[in-house]
């Protein structure tokens, strides 16, 4: 078992292949945190708990006259609230008597084989070859009767620990939950830095690194989605940690709604991190016997820098998260009609685009927004999922048949969670929107948000989407969501339950996806929210890939895809070649570079091929050929960030290496060019130091050791924004 309990020391020991996680029950029943880090043989770490009398740090009643035991400074596994711990809490409650106190003491525990269950919520799953053990520790508040069940699953070989909390009102009276974190970890030191990924629409997941100073540092979303502004993932690392050195801790939340990741450096220079649903605007009313399930947090530790930490997440999210058969299938190269036509199209124009795409070597044609209802712009028609026969005379089925006759598969765009005021759906059901009574509505992109906390709305969407997917031969669906949520109020919930609306919306969305996606396993679903506004593990549980950003500019994508790579594997990232000047930035980048950047993900095209010249079409054909030839390395190989676009102003570089280390692709893009420029080199990673490699374009053979220590030269004949991909193949081991 990877989980043990030492009854003598009352210590729980959780072990992955390379890490240990220890906690213990105190003499008063509190669950104290002991250690998280590199794997250790020790099972009794009581010596780490140092108690002393600290001024203004109160002592629990059960400690009697012992003034040295205080929750104000001890490292805890799940903090109490209102009982002398003044740091950011794991939980906040409102009891029936008006008090806001939860004092959880260990009542029982259970260790068992397999992954803990999580009903109605996405989570990573144990694969057939995974060794997974689970622990549940029940903390009981004796006065209110409420209990918090802390759940842990250890993926031993993947070096990952997952966590969640189930809160149960076991008392005799109703209560309200105001905050519940999925994971709390207390560190005895605080000389750490936090790495997180902030941004905005069309510039998502930018790399940010800040020192942990006294006070509270937090990131999160209250926009109803995980958002463009922050991603539900953060790294704590020791100062100076880089790709190959240093202790690094990752915290990723498998959730698609409002989230919070907060860290506090306290008065004694200790550090606490909390991960969970954002308590802003949240509350959950619990009658006796009712419970609330928190989403899952995925924790990983690396003692050897950021690259190793990323690999932990890449492996588990690639292999244990998404349930779609496409998670382990080659993805088609798509061409999307959006930047080619926007809303201005008919059958003839679409078929002309598809016809030219066949010659490029594309696999699948996607019809984006504008095919339904009265939809000539983004001001009307959302919610009316009936084909616009003025644009598509033969309907979706006729267009699909014509596209398939050319040898292409067919896909469509939908935005089921939204409705336009100018729509038949809104006119029939204005009460189906999120909107507070007697208040004017807030519009985003001139559209409103359907109330997915309502089962009748969810059932309507399930019927409508399933109807579309059975009406025609459709192999791909782009599922979009194009505004932040506001006016969060549901017509079916009483006043005391309105704080549940935002979370119920997310649960409703998961329910809809369960009922649609599971019924169509042969359809490839691609997530989207104005690009990367809902790029999170919760969505990847349902959709094996996500449109990375509405920004298709190759230079901007260097930063966007760099930040994304810290937690999300390459085969979840949809990335397209588009036209220049780019529609978002106006920048012009060579088509070769656009292809190199797009191939650092799931290659596709966002352009009108009828406007390409012969040279550009030839370049696209070659990109697709190269991508398919090396798909296994790109999609399933190990990924290395070689040169950061934030630290190296001149060149950004990355590397894909096959699992057997026999083949590798090294990609480089010049981001700045100087006159009479210096010769630059890129040091490779992940190769077999004792083997020899042949490098495409260079004569001779070179050991993995020299390539990783001396590097390869960056070609000096590349101009600004030009790039190259270098192929390496192992010849034989050293000495043979």
Mean pLDDT within 155-163: 98
Residue 374 φ/ψ, nearest 5 degrees: -95, 80
Residue 185 φ/ψ, nearest 5 degrees: -135, 130
CATH of region 84-320, choose from 2.60.40.10, 1.20.1250.20, 1.10.3210.50, 2.70.98.60? 2.70.98.60
Grade residue 518 by pLDDT with cuts at 50, 70 and 90: confident
Residue 31 φ/ψ, nearest 5 degrees: -95, 110
Grade residue 700 by pLDDT with cuts at 50, 70 and 90: confident
Q: What is the domain class of 640-733 according to CATH?
A: mainly beta
Q: Degrees (nearest 5) of the Cα angle 243, 209, 214?
A: 125
Pairing of strands 448-449, 248-254: unpaired
Q: Residue 114 carries which DSSP code?
A: S
Mean pLDDT within 180-198: 96
| Residue intervals in the chain for CATH 3.20.20.70 | 332-632
- pTM for the structure as a whole: 0.97
- What CA–CA distance (Å, rounded) separates 67 from 60? 9
Is 676 buried (19+), middle (13-18) or exposed (0-12) by CB count in 10 A?
exposed
Per DSSP (E only), the strands in 523-588 are: 524-527, 545-547, 573-578
- Measure CA 548 to chain center: 11
Closest C-alpha among 534, 454, 459, 536 to residue 501 = 454
Mean pLDDT within 525-538: 97
- What CA–CA distance (Å, rounded) separates 185 from 79? 10
Pairing of strands 291-293, 651-657: unpaired
Per-residue model confidence as pLDDT tens digits over 337-390: 999 999 999 999 999 999 999 999 999 999 999 999 999 999 999 999 999 999
Q: Is 383 helix (H, G, I), strand (E, B) or coil?
A: coil
CATH of region 332-632, choose from 3.20.20.70, 3.40.630.10, 3.40.50.1010, 3.40.50.80? 3.20.20.70
- Tokens read off for 594: 């656009």
Residues shown for the chain = 736
Position 175 scores a pLDDT of: 97
Mean pLDDT within 486-501: 97
- Tokens read off for 503: 């979370």
Position 736 scores a pLDDT of: 52
Inter-axis angle of helices 501-517 and 455-471, nearest 10: 30
Mean pLDDT within 529-533: 95
- Tokens read off for 384: 């009316």
Position 117 scores a pLDDT of: 94
Residue 624 has pLDDT above 90, yes or no: yes
Q: What are the CB-based long-range contacts (under 8 Å, 24+) for 47-51?
A: 48/188, 49/74
Residue 735 has pLDDT above 90, yes or no: no
Position 699 scores a pLDDT of: 85
Residue 734 has pLDDT above 60, yes or no: no
Where do we find the tokens 């040279």? Answer: 615
- Tokens read off for 432: 């189906």
CA gyration radius for the chain?
A: 27
- What CA–CA distance (Å, rounded) separates 438 from 487? 11
| Residue intervals in the chain for CATH 2.60.40.1180 | 640-733
- Looking at 675-722, list the stretches that DSSP marks H as alpha helix, in order from N- to C-terminal side: 704-709
Residue 128 has pLDDT above 70, yes or no: yes
Position 732 scores a pLDDT of: 76
Q: Residue 509 carries which DSSP code?
A: H
In 10 A of CB 421, how many CB atoms?
17
- Measure CA 86 to chain center: 31
Position 660 scores a pLDDT of: 96
Closest C-alpha among 214, 266, 213 to residue 239 = 213
Closest C-alpha among 317, 283, 234 to residue 538 = 317
Mean pLDDT of the chain: 96
Grade residue 239 by pLDDT with cuts at 50, 70 and 90: very high
- Tokens read off for 156: 């031993």
Just list the catalytic residues: 480, 550
- What CA–CA distance (Å, rounded) separates 204 from 458? 29
Distance between first and last Cα of the chain: 42
Q: What percent of the chain has pLDDT over 90?
A: 96
Where do we find the tokens 């016997």? Answer: 289
- Tokens read off for 707: 């390539």
- What CA–CA distance (Å, rounded) separates 536 from 58? 40
Position 733 scores a pLDDT of: 62
Closest C-alpha among 469, 458, 500 to residue 258 = 500
- What CA–CA distance (Å, rounded) separates 11 from 24? 4
The answer to whether 613 and 641 have CB atoms below 8 angstroms apart is no
Residue 136 φ/ψ, nearest 5 degrees: -125, 125
- Tokens read off for 511: 């329910």
Residue 190 has pLDDT above 90, yes or no: no
- What CA–CA distance (Å, rounded) separates 276 from 257? 10
- Tokens read off for 134: 């689970």
Distances (CA, A) of 213 to 79, 192, 241: 21, 9, 17
Is 430 buried (19+), middle (13-18) or exposed (0-12) by CB count in 10 A?
middle
Per-residue model confidence as pLDDT tens digits over 250-288: 999 999 999 999 999 999 999 999 999 999 999 999 999
Closest C-alpha among 52, 107, 58, 116 to residue 78 = 107
- What CA–CA distance (Å, rounded) separates 636 from 546? 17
Per-residue model confidence as pLDDT tens digits over 98-115: 999 999 999 999 999 999
């Amino acid at each position: 078992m990877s989980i043990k309990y030492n009854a003598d020391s009352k210590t729980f020991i959780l072990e992955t292949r390379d890490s240990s996680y220890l906690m213990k029950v105190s003499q008063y029943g509190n669950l104290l945190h002991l250690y998280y880090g590199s794997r250790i043989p020790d099972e009794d770490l009581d010596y780490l708990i140092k108690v002393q009398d600290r001024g203004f740090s109160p002592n629990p009643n059960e400690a009697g006259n012992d003034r040295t035991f205080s929750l104000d400074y001890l490292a805890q596994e799940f903090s109490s609230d209102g009982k002398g711990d003044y740091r950011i809490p794991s939980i906040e409650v409102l009891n029936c008597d008006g008090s806001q106190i939860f004092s959880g003491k260990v009542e029982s525990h259970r260790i068992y084989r397999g992954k803990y269950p999580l009903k109605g919520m996405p989570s990573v799953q144990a694969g057939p070859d995974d060794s997974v053990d689970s622990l549940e520790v029940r903390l009981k508040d004796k006065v209110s009767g409420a209990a918090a069940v802390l759940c842990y699953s250890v993926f031993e070989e993947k070096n990952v620990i997952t966590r969640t909390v189930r809160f149960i009102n076991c008392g005799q009276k109703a209560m309200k939950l105001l905050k519940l974190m999925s994971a709390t970890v207390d560190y005895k030191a605080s000389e750490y830095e936090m790495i997180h990924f902030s941004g905005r629409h069309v510039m998502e997941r930018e790399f940010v690194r800040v020192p942990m100073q006294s006070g509270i540092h937090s990131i999160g979303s209250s926009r109803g989605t995980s958002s463009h502004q922050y991603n539900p993932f953060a790294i704590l690392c020791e100062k100076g940690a880089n790709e190959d050195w240093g202790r690094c801790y990752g915290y990723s939340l498998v959730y698609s709604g409002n989230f919070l990741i907060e860290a506090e450096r306290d008065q004694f220079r200790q550090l606490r991190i909390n991960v969970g649903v954002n308590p802003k605007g949240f509350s959950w009313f619990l009658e006796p016997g009712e419970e609330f399930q928190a989403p899952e947090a995925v924790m990983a530790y690396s003692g050897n820098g950021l690259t190793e930490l990323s690999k932990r997440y890449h492996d588990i999210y690639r292999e244990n998260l998404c349930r779609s058969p496409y998670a382990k299938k080659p993805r088609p190269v798509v061409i999307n009609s959006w930047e080619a036509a926007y809303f201005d199209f008919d059958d003839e124009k679409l078929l002309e685009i598809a016809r030219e795409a066949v010659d490029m070597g594309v696999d699948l044609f996607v019809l984006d927004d504008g095919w339904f209802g009265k939809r000539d712009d983004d001001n009307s028609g959302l919610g009316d999922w009936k084909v616009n026969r003025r644009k598509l005379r033969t309907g979706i089925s006729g267009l699909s048949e014509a596209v398939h006759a050319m040898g292409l598969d067919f896909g469509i765009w939908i935005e089921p969670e939204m409705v336009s005021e100018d729509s038949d759906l809104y006119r029939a059901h204005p009460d189906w929107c999120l909107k507070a009574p007697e208040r004017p509505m807030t519009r985003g992109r001139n559209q409103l948000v359907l109330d997915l906390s309502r089962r009748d709305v969810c059932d309507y969407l399930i019927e409508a989407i399933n109807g579309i997917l059975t009406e025609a031969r459709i192999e791909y669906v782009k599922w979009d969501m194009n505004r932040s949520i506001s006016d969060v109020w549901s017509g079916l919930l009483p006043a005391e339950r309105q704080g549940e609306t935002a979370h119920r919306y997310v649960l409703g969305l998961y329910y809809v996806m369960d009922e649609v996606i599971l019924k169509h396993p042969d359809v490839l679903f691609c997530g989207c929210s104005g690009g990367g506004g809902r790029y999170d593990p919760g969505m990847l549980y349902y959709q094996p890939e996500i449109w990375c950003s509405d920004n298709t500019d190759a230079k901007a994508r260097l930063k966007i895809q760099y930040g994304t790579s810290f937690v999300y594997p390459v085969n979840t990232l949809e990335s397209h070649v588009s036209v220049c000047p780019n529609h978002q930035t106006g920048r012009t980048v060579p088509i070769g570079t656009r292809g190199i950047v797009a191939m650092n993900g799931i290659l596709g095209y966002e352009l009108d091929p009828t406007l390409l010249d012969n040279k550009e079409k030839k370049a696209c054909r070659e990109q697709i050929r190269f991508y398919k030839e090396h798909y296994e390395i790109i999609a399933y190989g190990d990924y290395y960030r070689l040169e950061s676009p934030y630290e190296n102003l001149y060149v950004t570089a990355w590397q894909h290496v096959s699992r057997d280390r026999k083949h590798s692709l090294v990609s480089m893009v010049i981001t700045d060019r100087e006159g009479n420029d210096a010769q630059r080199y890129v040091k490779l990673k992940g190769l077999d130091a004792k083997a020899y490699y042949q490098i495409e374009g260079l004569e001779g053979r070179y050991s993995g050791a020299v390539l990783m220590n001396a590097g390869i030269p960056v070609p000096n004949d590349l101009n600004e924004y030009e790039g190259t991909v270098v192929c390496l193949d192992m010849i034989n081991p050293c000495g043979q």
